[in-house]
Amino acid sequence: MDLRRIGPVNVAFYVERGRNRHLAACTAPRCDFSAEYDSRAAAELAARIHRCPA
């Protein structure tokens, strides 16, 4: 797994069933933001524009 941190959001890359997947997940307490994307650019964009409500 490849992991990159952008603010409070971690962006990870992994392979699932032969497909590349990208995950953006906020690590702040009480923030439930997480989403899977097909491209790393989309996951990093989501991490950059995420405004944590916690």
Distance CA 46, CA 35 (A): 9
One-letter identity of residue 34:
S
pLDDT at site 53: 82
H or E element: which one contains 42? helix 40-49
- pLDDT band, residue 1 (cuts 50/70/90): low
Residues sharing a CB contact under 8 Å with residue 38, sequence separation 6 or more, in sequence order: 20, 21, 22
Residue 32 CA, chain-centre distance (Å), reads 12
Distance CA 39, CA 54 (A): 27
Model confidence over 14-54: pLDDT tens digits?
Answer: 898 989 999 999 999 999 999 999 999 999 999 999 998 86
